[in-house]
Amino acid sequence: MGYLEGFAVTFNKLFEERVTGEYKAKGEGEKRDKPERFHGRHVLNRYEDGMEKCIGCELCAGVCPARCIYVRGADNPPDNPVSPGERFGWIYEINYLRCIHCDLCVEACPTQAITESKLFEFSFTNRDDAIYTKDELVVGDDGMPQKLPWEDWRPGDDEHTSGWMRATSPGGSVAYQNTVSWSGELGYGVRSPEMGQHAPESEPVAAGGHEDHDDHADHGGH
Amino acid sequence: MIAQQAYLDDFDWTSWDPVFLAVKVVLVFTVLLVSVMFMVWFERKVVSDMQNRIGPNVAGPWGMLQTLADGIKLFFKEDLTPAGADRFVFKLAPYLSLIPAFLMFSIVPIAGDFSDGNDGSVELFGQTFVWQLVDPPMGILLFLAMSGLGIYGVMLAGWSSGSKYPLLGSVRASAQMVSYEAALGLSLAAVFLSSGSLSPNEIVRAQADGPFGIGGWNVFGLGFVPFVIFLIASTAELNRPPFDLVEAEQELVGGFHTEYSSLRFSLFFLAEFMNVVTMSAIMVTLFFGGPHGPVFTETLGWAWGLLWFVLKVLVFLFTFVWFRATLPRLRYDQLMDLGWKLLIPLALGWFLMLGALRVGQNEGWNPFAVIAIGLVVIAAGGALLAGAIRNARVGRTESDVLEYG
């Protein structure tokens, strides 16, 4: 009776050990550590000297499958530039009611400006609050994501925000796979290579980045 | 109409106490709501157990108050009406599916003493009454009518949403529920045949006397087949897995209630789970002797009935959850095949055989011979049907070849 075997399978499962864990471990009040490359709320990174990495190229908005990113670029004011180079992200908005945290924006970004933290516990009481603007997304002066009052940050959520980006070849070029070719970040400097990656022996032409910022304007647009 | 008049003439108006009736209505209402709350929790817990998960465990002991928390949450959600919706029907539909769900339960006897030919009446608080809200002589027809009406809620909800997926869901719903209603009714007819009545109280009473205390139950007396057909057809009627094509999440988003939110959505949810409880209770009433069961000590008195009833309903609630955890969803054509080509012919054949047995009792035929002949006739009919289906399929393929080369 092949039809009834399935019923025995499900019935026996009743007495088996559970394979899932608690969302919040009982008694401890702490949540489990998240994986290093967890996709959470975005941050907009800055260079070590405090300049914003975003150049307003709108590649993230173009690649976004959920159409949740809105970017407008503008020319840098010559006397007080926001980012190194010609342009900067003037408006940057992410609608978290639509974002699916696929990280395609992170992969598309030519300057590694947008990366994701591990924060996923945040809620809103109206739709306007769900649209994060640049004020909320840009990292603070210590290089850490801003911790907004309605967000539930846990220790470790704000570290390794560029984990996923570092796992792939930032330029998208196979030649640079497993090669350290990411730019320095405010508060962190140049992140060290991960397992299986190595620092470049000679400086790659198009993927350098931890020297002067004048250089970034050159490879930012390639 | 004449039967109705006779019923009204026979009705003992001196015993009719509106206050007492109101108390019973409120009681049934509350019991039903609480049981739905319990059922949702039970389903989530058992399904998660069967999938090696933990399930709800935060709200209340073992997460029992999870449904309450969800209900309160739904109250505070934004209530949306799509722009393309037919506003009146859109708002009417949830009530069309909820009210029949409530009314259906009113005819179910949930306790009472049916042993030794008693009529299930209980003396309590100076009142003599039966443990059921009403006992209309056409009770089971009321059940059929209400379950038929419930389809309108689903159908109109999908149609009035002004959106394609709900419409697809409701088209499926109407086709599915109408076709399984036929099998449901035919398997019910077998019950009427054995009990000779449409009144739930009398159906229970007819099952009360039999060997071993439970031998009179219709599930044995009718030879299992009507019960199995009823169980399958009622699963389809309830739109529960494996027959939940109406709300097949992978294809239709949420099915007929895709466009519903907030309280209106919770009304559908309530109606759906209330129907599960009610259908289990109806099944217990029709096939498992309702509140009747072996009495082990006299001290509990009429509470034995309640105990047996709750236990039997629980078994069926578990069965429905078990179905859901075990069986994959049927394809639409498989669903229609099962309903039209297997359940309805089988229910009809079995009903005819039971009828022949009944006639044979009066005429003094050998019952074993009747059963043997009946089974042969059913088998022959089934073979003819299968042959006809195969023949039609061959013809169809040939004409396809001729037409499309």
What are A83-142's pLDDT values in tens digits?
Answer: 988 999 999 999 999 999 988 888 888 888 888 888 888 888 888 889 999 999 999 888
Chain B residue numbers touching A18 (CB-CB < 8 A): 52-54
Q: Yes or no: say if B240 and B323 are a contact pair by the CB < 8 Å rule.
A: yes
In A, minimum Cα distance to B328 occurs at: A6
Give the model's pLDDT for residue A131: 92
For residue A31, list chain B residues with Cβ-Cβ distance below 8 A: none
Nearest CA to B207 out of B186, B192, B185 is that of: B192
Distance of residue A65 Cα from the nearest chain B Cα, in angstroms: 19
Residue type, position B52, single letter = N
Q: Are A55 and A113 in contact (CB under 8 A)?
A: yes
How many CA atoms, within 13 angstroms, populate the side-chain half-sphere of residue B272? 19
Contact predicate B202/B124, CB 8 Å: no
- Buried b or exposed e, range B363-393, using 16+ CB within 10 angstroms: eeeeeeebbeebeeebeeeeeeeeeeeeeee
Residue B14 pLDDT grade (very low, low, confident, very high; cuts 50, 70, 90) = low
State the average pLDDT over residues B104-108: 86
Predicted confidence band at B9 (pLDDT cuts at 50, 70, 90)? low
Could B52 and A20 be called an inter-chain contact, meaning their C-beta atoms sit closer than 8 Å?
A: yes
Question: Sorting pLDDT into bands at 50, 70 and 90, what band is A218?
Answer: very low
Poorest-confidence range of A92-96, B103-107, B171-175? B171-175
Q: Which residues of B touch A11 (CB under 8 A)?
A: 50, 322
- As given in the structure block, the two tokens for residue A68 are 């949740």
Is the overall model pTM greater than 0.80, yes or no?
no
| CB contact (8 A) between residue A7 and residue B53 | no
Three-state SS for chain A is: CHHHHHHHHHHHHCCCCCCCCCCECCCCCCECCCCCCCCCCEEECECCCCCECCCCCCHHHHHCCCCCEEEEEEECCCCCCCCCCCEEEEEEEEECCCCCCCCHHHHHCCCCCEEECCCCCECCCCCHHHEECHHHHECCCCCCCCCCCCECCCCCCCCCCCHHHHHCCCCCCHHHCCECCCCCECCCECCCCCCCCECCCCCCCCCCCCCCCHHHHHHHCC
Residues of A in contact with B326 (CB under 8 A): 6-7, 9-10
Share of chain B above pLDDT 70, in %: 87
**Sign (positive or negative) of CA dihedral B277, B281, B287, B293:** positive
A6 contact residues in B (CB cutoff 8 A): 326-327
How far is the alpha carbon of B50 from chain A, nearest alpha carbon, in Å?
5
Closest CB from A6, A17, A18 relative to B326: A6
pLDDT of residue A181: 66
Q: Say what the pLDDT of residue A172 is.
A: 57
Contact A172, A127 (CB under 8 A): no
- Among the partner-chain residues B52, B54, B327, the one whose CB lies closest to the CB of A13 is B52
- Min distance B308 CA to chain A CA atoms (Å): 23
CA distances from B83 to A156, B78, B167, B259, B326 (A): 45, 15, 15, 11, 39
Percent of chain B with pLDDT strictly greater than 90: 9
Q: How confident is the model at residue B380 (pLDDT cuts 50, 70, 90)?
A: very high
Q: Does A20 touch chain B (CB under 8 A)?
A: yes
Q: By CA distance, what is A11's nearest residue in B?
A: B50
Read out DSSP for B7-51?
HHHH--GGG--HHHHHHHHHHHHHHHHHHHHHHHHHHHHHHHHHT
Contact B174, B148 (CB under 8 A): no
CA triplet A156, A159, A160: central angle to 5 degrees? 125
Q: Which residues of B touch A7 (CB under 8 A)?
A: 322, 326
Q: Is A5 on the interface with B (CB under 8 A)?
A: no
Q: Answer for the pair B288, B319: CB distance below 8 angstroms, yes or no.
A: no
- Would the pLDDT of B228 be above 50? yes
B322:A10 CB<8 A: yes
Q: Which of A75, A187, A70 is nearest to A134 (CA)?
A: A70
Exposed, middle or buried: residue B45 (CB in 10 Å: 0-12, 13-18, 19+)?
buried
Could you tell me the residue ranges of all domains in chain B?
14-332
3-state SS, residue B227? helix
Q: What are phi and psi of A69, to 5 degrees?
A: -105, 135
Omega into B242 within 30° of 0, i.e. cis? yes
Q: What is the mean pLDDT of chain B?
A: 83
Out of A9, A11, A18, closest to residue B53 by CB: A18
Chain B interface includes A205 (CB < 8 A): no
pLDDT tens digits for B77-101? 888 888 888 889 988 989 988 899 8
Structural element, H or E, at residue B121: strand B121-124
- Chain A residues within 8 A of B327 when measuring between CB atoms: 6
Please tell me the distance in Å from A9's CA to the nearest CA on chain B.
Answer: 8
Q: Which two tokens stand for residue B257?
A: 């209630």
The pLDDT of residue A217 = 41
Rounded Cα distance between B150 and B90, Å, is: 15
Identify the weakest region by mean pLDDT among A23-37, B48-62, B168-182: A23-37
Cβ separation B50–A11 shorter than 8 A: yes
List the single range of A161-175, B29-43, B204-218 with lowest mean pLDDT: A161-175
- How confident is the model at residue B6, as a pLDDT? 63
Q: Kindly list the residues from chain A whose CB atom is less than 8 angstroms away from the CB atom of residue B53.
A: 18-20
Is residue A193's pLDDT more than 80? no
How many residues can be counted in chain A? 222
Phi/psi of residue B253, each to 5°? 60, -100
Task: Find the CB nearest A18 among B52, B322, B325.
Answer: B52
- Report yes or no: B244 and B329 within 8 Å, Cβ to Cβ: yes
Sign, Cα dihedral of B369, B371, B372, B378: positive
The residue to which tokens 């669903």 are assigned: B335
Mean pLDDT to the nearest integer, B287-310: 77
Please answer yes or no on whether A17 and B52 come within 8 Å at the CB atom.
Answer: yes
Cβ neighbours of A22 in B, within 8 Å:
54, 57
- Determine which of A1, A4, A10 to mutate to test the interface with B (most B C-beta atoms within 10 Å): A10
Predicted local distance difference test score (pLDDT) of residue B289: 81
Q: Where does residue A209 fall: left (phi above 0), alpha (psi -120 to 50 degrees), or beta otherwise? A: left
Residue B241 exposed, middle or buried by CB count within 10 Å (0-12, 13-18, 19+): buried
Locate tokens 């590694």: which residue? A112
Closest chain A residue to B45 measured between Cα atoms?
A: A14
pLDDT in tens, B32-71: 888 888 899 999 999 998 888 888 888 888 888 888 888 8
pLDDT score of A64 more than 90: yes
Count Cβ atoms below 10 Å from residue B154 Cβ, excluding itself: 29
With CB atoms and an 8 Å threshold, state whether B50 touches A14: yes
- Which DSSP state fits B327? P
| Residue-wise pLDDT tens digits, B307-320 | 888 899 999 999 99
Q: Do A17 and B50 touch (CB under 8 A)?
A: no
Q: Determine the average pLDDT of the residues in B206-228.
A: 79
- The arithmetic mean of pLDDT across residues B295-322, rounded, is 83
Most confident of A65-74, A211-220, B148-157, B170-179: A65-74
Chain B residue with the nearest C-alpha to that of A24:
B58
Nearest 5°: CA angle at B354, between B350 and B358? 165
Closest chain A residue by Cα to residue B318: A11
